[in-house]
Amino acid sequence: MENLEFRFTAQPVKPAAGAALCGVVGSGNLEILIRPGDEADACTVVVKTSARGFGKIWEAVIAEFASRHPVGGTRIAINDMGATPAVVSLRLGQALGDYTGGAQ
Amino acid sequence: MNTPVHTSLVLRHSYFEATARSRVAQVLDAGSFREFLPPEVAQPSPHLAILDIPGAFDDGVIIGSAALDGKPVLVIAQEGQFMGGAVGEIHGAKIVGLLRRAALEKPAAVIFMVDSGGVRLHEANAGLIAISEIMRAVLDARAAGVPVLALVGGSCGAFGGMGIVSRLCSAIIMSEEGRLALSGPEVIETVAGVEEFDSKDRALVWRVTGGKHRYLTGDCAELVEDDAAGFRQGAIDVLAGRTEPLPSSTVLRAEQERLSSRRQRFAGMRDGLEVWAALGVPDPGQVSLIDRDSLVALKKGLPA
Amino acid sequence: MNAPHSPGAWDTRRQGRMRRIERAASLGVARQVPASRIGELLEAVIEPGDRVCLEGNNQKQADFLSEALADCNPERLHDLHMVQSVLALPSHVDLFERGIASKLDFSFSGPQGSRLARLVQDRQIEIGAIHTYLELFGRYFVDLTPNVCLIAAQSADAAGNLYTGPNTEDTPAIVEATAFKGGIVIAQVNELVDKLPRVDVPADWVDFYVLAPRPNYIEPLFTRDPAQITDVQVLMAMMALKGIYAEYGVKRLNHGIGFDTAAIELLLPTYATELGLKGKICTHWALNPHPTLIPAIESGCVESIHSFGSEVGMENYIAARSDVFFTGADGSMRSNRAFSQTAGLYACDMFIGSTLQIDLAGNSSTATLGRITGFGGAPNMGSDPHGRRHASPAWLKAGREAGGPDAIRGRKLVMQMVETFREHMAPVFVEELDAWKLKESMSMDLPPIMIYGDDVTHIVTEEGIANLLLCRTPEEREQAIRGVAGFTPVGMARDRKMVEQLRQRGIIRRAEDLGIDPRRANRDLLAARSVKDLVRWSGGLYAPPARFRNW
């Protein structure tokens, strides 16, 4: 397992309720938990992944996501069982959608 | 242009495919679910962390309160896609805690969505202990007058210790896709050889462990479509007017007698087809092909 | 057998044919050969150095004849030149290891790819060339005409007429070339009947036939379990439908088999119909009877399908849908690979398929190191036929995108649809295809490229659609590809500014540009989510093989 941590600056976003959970830790899949964070214009991300050596790709995928969507003011925790970037991007979009109640 | 059959196929929400969270959302009254120990306050399994395996925030099981047709219920839903729904320490503790709460609060029922291969071997004794505690907690809840309904229709079925737990529940509701047994098919083949049981013969596996077989033998109370709506209605129907009977050694002995004679009656049979023929089903080969409603009607017409 | 004509002798082939038949007759082997004497027959009528066509089709296999040939004595039969569509069975390769055959011309060898590669490296085989199906069929009538063909049919009558039924596949092309150039036609059949449902091969064209001990093997290659389709594949299917099928009004097409295209097929009754596309797209197909197309057929989205072969379990469904499928007066399906390939090449406006690797020019390849797999029919489907003349709206629109408003010809749409990473995080987008390394290690003339970049018009990934028709320079083309290559090294090396410009020009379009909400991309959108659903859609007519059932 590899533990990764990132922080990105981003436009702030308001949650619809509290936390949002998306996905399941199955083979090729991941779960994403988005909660309100401490810094209004930043997003902190903690990733626990079964696949080793893909830190740079994780960073790029999440950075791209943070640049395209307002995710400031959140902390994101991810448990991953070997999902490809395609699945990760899809789940991030779904998780953010659930977090904002579809407003975004 | 689409027939009602086609429209229903498209609108159906497969229970088999759904995650535990969406099963809970679709089977219970809309918006009624409140999760206990939600993922944001939970921690993944420390045992898996030691083994360098990613955990899940909810350790693969969701517990909480909800309403079913307006009546208050407590809910357990195992996530079959995580570690095969297998029971670890935290997973088991959540289930036991929920069942003990049920014994105190006495809701209308506990809805237990089982989707599990049994003990999580990674957690060894912790998993074994957890399952034995679950067994006791189910019986305690029932003794307190709370019906515990097992819903079995996920990809992992109910095997191993969770197969036993399911049979300790007040009643079991299954879909055709669901499976209920003790040893897993692959385990039987590995231990006893492919002549004993060919685990790759999927049709055989379902004839021996699947919902239709369990329904015909009376091991499950209801057979429903692979559909959240089907499980919902099945649960409502089973609970309607039901009072949970007090534990009774007379009843238990009678049940053991019944199971004993059943075992003798079907001794040596190796396939559901043979059992169904012995039960009086006129054309056993058709059982796997006919739809749910037809099978329910067929069972009604069988000799007692 | 290919000796030049001796002076005055112009019927050596006919004489050779008589000689072979007489040898069989003198052994007492009749036209209807007992299974126990098949080895004797083969050794009597085949001569060393012969060109032999063995019906290794994509789907059906003349497996009894293949095994019998592999059991022949290499001292009697050797140096055979095998010409066949597919190297599918172990016995196909055994022929070379046992010294019976020495040369091979073929099209596809997926199942035997590793063994074939080893034979090449051990110099136990000489490969003439790797072809597409249509090329190989064409050469049967030019310079690869078989002396003997070993075919598979469903049944024979007392006269020796044959019925090939739903899985007719390559048989007509093979038999015609062999029978009409003095060759010998030998068939294995599954049953002998008094009256055939219909005559597919006349007895006049058949020299010998044998009742095989078991029915000939047919591989269910075109069945895909909807349960395996992922959310990402649904997303890409939505993009393909909205961004390309709808835009060009694609009515006539072929789908390369795969889960990606199965997702598109299963979205036709739902997402595509929601977009108002029923009757406007996907009405006419050159396609095998994919079970995943059943919901679209039942929903009235499909008018006609012509097939290369049948598909195990679909026979009754096809017979009950004779408005859609090609069926005989007897009711059963008629397939024909040569004609379907021609239809896919010339009469379709679009091909879409998946692949293992794509480079910066858009060349795509399924070649992997250590295996020789060949091409099958994909290049015929996935290429722009310069011989086409008739216009259609899709063809004209694509042609104008490529050549400007005064373009003198149209273009066939050739789409490659892939996720940017494959299993084990292997990137699909690469700077150099493995095909080049394979060319070196196997001493091939050319790198085995399935679809040439010149022919590719669109690439669809989870990141979006790249329209290569609109690219005006190789640099634009390269950046358009990098711009949909996601987080692969190729994608990460993109010129971000240029990619953004390409997006402004509509050369790259992302899901949000197409107005697609990724949260809708889930399996609920599929019209059928399991094999059982497909059976229900078909009203119980589809009978899936046991491996796809749990009932």
Measured distance between the N- and C-terminal CA atoms of chain B, rounded to whole angstroms: 44
Region C213-234: what's the mean pLDDT? 94
Region C446-464: what's the mean pLDDT? 96
Question: Which backbone phi and psi does B209 adopt, to 5 degrees?
Answer: -125, -5
**Cα dist. B113→B66, B102, B131 in Å?**
13, 15, 15
Kindly determine whether residue A21 and residue B82, on different chains, have CB atoms separated by under 8 Å.
no
Nearest C-alpha of chain B: how many angstroms from C487? 23
Give the three-class secondary structure for B120. Answer: coil
- Selecting from A60, A85, A102 the residue whose C-beta is nearest the C-beta of C420 gives A85
Kindly determine whether residue A50 and residue B54, on different chains, have CB atoms separated by under 8 Å.
yes
> Does the beta carbon of A4 lie under 8 angstroms from any beta carbon of chain B?
no
Question: Which backbone phi and psi does B170 adopt, to 5 degrees?
Answer: -65, -40
Mutate to test the interface with A, among C417, C512, C519, C522 (most CBs of A within 10 A): C519
Measure the CA–CA gap between B295 and C206, rounded to whole angstroms. Answer: 51
Residue-level pLDDT at C4 = 61
Residue-level pLDDT at B29 = 98
Measure the CA–CA gap between A38 and A44, rounded to whole angstroms. Answer: 9
Region B175-190: what's the mean pLDDT? 95
Which residues of chain C neighbour B203 with C-beta distances below 8 Å? Answer: 546, 549-551
Measure the CA–CA gap between C499 and C501, rounded to whole angstroms. Answer: 5
- Selecting from A18, A33, A50 the residue whose C-beta is nearest the C-beta of B53 gives A50
Query: Per-residue pLDDT for C437 more than 50?
Result: yes
Question: Which backbone phi and psi does C308 adopt, to 5 degrees?
Answer: -75, -35
DSSP assigned state of B284: G
Cα dihedral B248/B254/B255/B257 (nearest 10): 150
What six digits make up the tokens of B81? 């896609």
Region B42-55: what's the mean pLDDT? 90
Nearest C-alpha of chain B: how many angstroms from A64? 24
Residue A68 belongs to a domain: yes
Residue-level pLDDT at B185 = 94
**Amino acid code (one letter) for C362:** G
Q: How many helices (H) and strands (E) does chain B have?
A: 13, 7
Give the Cα-Cα-Cα angle C180, C141, C9 (nearest 5 degrees).
Answer: 55
Instruction: Convert the pLDDT of each residue in C246-293 to its tens digit.
Output: 999 999 999 999 999 999 999 999 999 999 999 999 999 999 999 999
Give the three-class secondary structure for C532. Answer: helix
Residue A38 belongs to a domain: yes
Domains contained in chain A, number: 1
Mutate to test the interface with A, among C419, C420, C424, C425 (most CBs of A within 10 A): C425
List of E strands, C294-438: 304-306, 350-353, 357-358, 364-365, 413-417
ipTM above 0.90, yes or no: yes
Residue-level pLDDT at B43 = 81
Give me the count of residues in chain B.
Answer: 304
Residue with tokens 């007429």: C161
Q: How confident is the model at residue C369 (pLDDT cuts 50, 70, 90)?
A: confident
Measure the CA–CA gap between C550 and C542, rounded to whole angstroms. Answer: 15
Which residues of chain C neighbour A85 with C-beta distances below 8 Å? Answer: 420-421, 486-487
List domains and CATH numbers for chain B: 13-180+220-247 (3.90.226.10)
DSSP assigned state of B158: B
Residue-level pLDDT at C442 = 86
β-strand C364-365 against B148-152: which pairing, if any?
unpaired
Beta-carbon count within 10 A of C159 CB: 12
Task: Give the torsion sign (CA, C54, C60, C61, C62).
Answer: negative
Residue-level pLDDT at B44 = 87
Residue-level pLDDT at C367 = 86
Nearest C-alpha of chain A: how many angstroms from B51? 9
Residue A59 belongs to a domain: yes
**Amino acid code (one letter) for C447:** P
Question: How many percent of chain C have pLDDT more than 70?
Answer: 99
Q: How confident is the model at residue B289 (pLDDT cuts 50, 70, 90)?
A: confident
Measure the CA–CA gap between C326 and C336, rounded to whole angstroms. Answer: 10
Residue-level pLDDT at B9 = 76
Instruction: Convert the pLDDT of each residue in C422-432 to its tens digit.
Output: 988 899 999 99
Measure the CA–CA gap between B300 and B278, rounded to whole angstroms. Answer: 16
Q: What does the mean pLDDT of chain C come to?
A: 95
- Selecting from A24, A49, A80 the residue whose C-beta is nearest the C-beta of B81 gives A24
Kindly determine whether residue C421 and residue A87, on different chains, have CB atoms separated by under 8 Å.
no
Beta-carbon count within 10 A of C284 CB: 18
Residue-level pLDDT at A104 = 43
Nearest C-alpha of chain C: how many angstroms from B298? 18
Q: How confident is the model at residue C1 (pLDDT cuts 50, 70, 90)?
A: low
Instruction: Convert the pLDDT of each residue in A13-56 to its tens digit.
Output: 988 888 999 999 999 999 999 999 999 899 999 999 999 999 99
Contacts of C512 (CB under 8 A, 6+ apart): none
Alpha-carbon Rg for chain C, nearest whole angstrom, is: 25
Residue-level pLDDT at C3 = 60
Residue-level pLDDT at B1 = 45
Q: Which residue of A has its CA nearest to B59?
A: A25
Contacts of C408 (CB under 8 A, 6+ apart): none
Kindly determine whether residue A24 and residue B55, on different chains, have CB atoms separated by under 8 Å.
no
Query: Per-residue pLDDT for A103 more than 60?
Result: no
Give the Cα-Cα-Cα angle C84, C89, C92 (nearest 5 degrees).
Answer: 55
Write out the residue range of the structural domain in which residue A17 sits: 2-99
Nearest C-alpha of chain B: how many angstroms from C150? 34
Instruction: Convert the pLDDT of each residue in C160-184 to its tens digit.
Output: 999 999 999 999 999 999 999 999 9
What's A6's domain CATH number?
A: 3.30.230
Residue-level pLDDT at C5 = 59
Instruction: Convert the pLDDT of each residue in C461-504 to its tens digit.
Output: 999 999 999 999 999 999 999 999 999 999 999 999 999 999 99
- What does the DSSP assignment read for B196-240? T--TT-HHHHHHHHBHHHHHHTTSSSEEE-SSHHHHHHHHHHHHT
Residue-level pLDDT at B85 = 97
Give the three-class secondary structure for A43. Answer: strand
- Selecting from C270, C300, C530 the residue whose C-beta is nearest the C-beta of B10 gives C270
Q: How confident is the model at residue B8 (pLDDT cuts 50, 70, 90)?
A: confident
Give the three-class secondary structure for C176. Answer: helix
Do the Cβ atoms of C462 and C450 come closer than 8 Å? no
Instruction: Convert the pLDDT of each residue in C43-73 to its tens digit.
Output: 999 999 999 999 999 899 999 999 999 999 9
Which residues of chain C neighbour A29 with C-beta distances below 8 Å? Answer: none
Q: Which residues of B116-138 are buried (b: 16+ CB within 10 A; e: fewer)?
A: bbbbbebbeebbbbbbbbbbebb
Which residues of chain C neighbour B177 with C-beta distances below 8 Å? Answer: 550
Tally of CA atoms within 13 A in the half-sphere of B154 that contains its CB: 29
Residue-level pLDDT at C546 = 85
Residue A104 belongs to a domain: no
**Amino acid code (one letter) for B44:** P
Measure the CA–CA gap between B97 and B63, rounded to whole angstroms. Answer: 9
Which residues of chain C neighbour B206 with C-beta distances below 8 Å? Answer: 550-551
Instruction: Convert the pLDDT of each residue in B123-133 to its tens digit.
Output: 989 999 999 99
Residue-level pLDDT at C141 = 98
